[in-house]
Amino acid sequence: MTSWPITVSEDHPFSIQNLPFGVFHTKQEQHSQARCASAFGDFVVDLAALQKANHLPDTCCFTNSSLNTFMSLGREVWKQVRSKLIELLSSSSSPLKDDTLRNSVLIPMTNVVMLLPCKVGDYTDFYASIDHATNLGKMFRPNEEPLKPNWKHLPVGYHGRASSVVVSGTDLKRPNGQKKGRA
């Protein structure tokens, strides 16, 4: 399958075969103007602009500042949207042949700020390895065996903090030793 109106090689991380969803605003806009997008080559496809121009299903909510509503619509809607995107980005008879529409929909990645794509309310995390589980077991149960007998027979999850989910590249303030408290 070839891409159009821009050429994106098949080995590009965001080729026509891989159209991931995300949330962005342009560098000139405020965070409050965030909307949904898909990556395509070195561009983002403004899904809100495509929907506003009636080229995506009405059921989608791409003017939202998160993908939560879109994710809640389910697999059939996701497949419809992805199929429509592939059609728009691979057909020379696409409405994107119109320069005005194309320029409003395809925005160079160098001009955008990517944001957290969804609002994370809560999540469950799972121990990643025996070492991870053993180290935490030693901290939480210092006077007991670090691993319970069932650890190797069923997945063990724990409550994760939603505040720890951030966009890639976000600067994090990490703990650096201990400070003596005030008396």
pLDDT digits (tens, 9 = 90+) for 2-55: 777 788 988 999 999 999 999 999 999 988 899 999 999 999 999 999 999 999
State pLDDT tens for residues 51-72: 999 999 877 799 999 999 999 9
Contacts 24+ apart (CB under 8 A), 92-98: 92/4, 94/4, 94/5, 95/53, 95/55, 96/4, 96/5, 97/5
> Is the confidence at residue 165, as pLDDT, over 70?
yes
State pLDDT tens for residues 73-87: 999 999 999 999 999
Report cis status (omega within 30 of 0) of the bond before 5: yes
State pLDDT tens for residues 103-134: 999 999 999 999 999 998 878 888 878 998 89
**Full-model pTM:** 0.76
Do the beta carbons of residue 59 and residue 73 sit within 8 Å? yes
What is the CATH number that goes with domain 21-115?
Answer: 2.30.30.230
Spell out the residues 6+ positions from residue 94 whose beta carbon is closer than 8 angstroms to its own.
4, 5, 87, 88
Active site residues: 132
Domain ranges of the chain: 21-115, 123-164
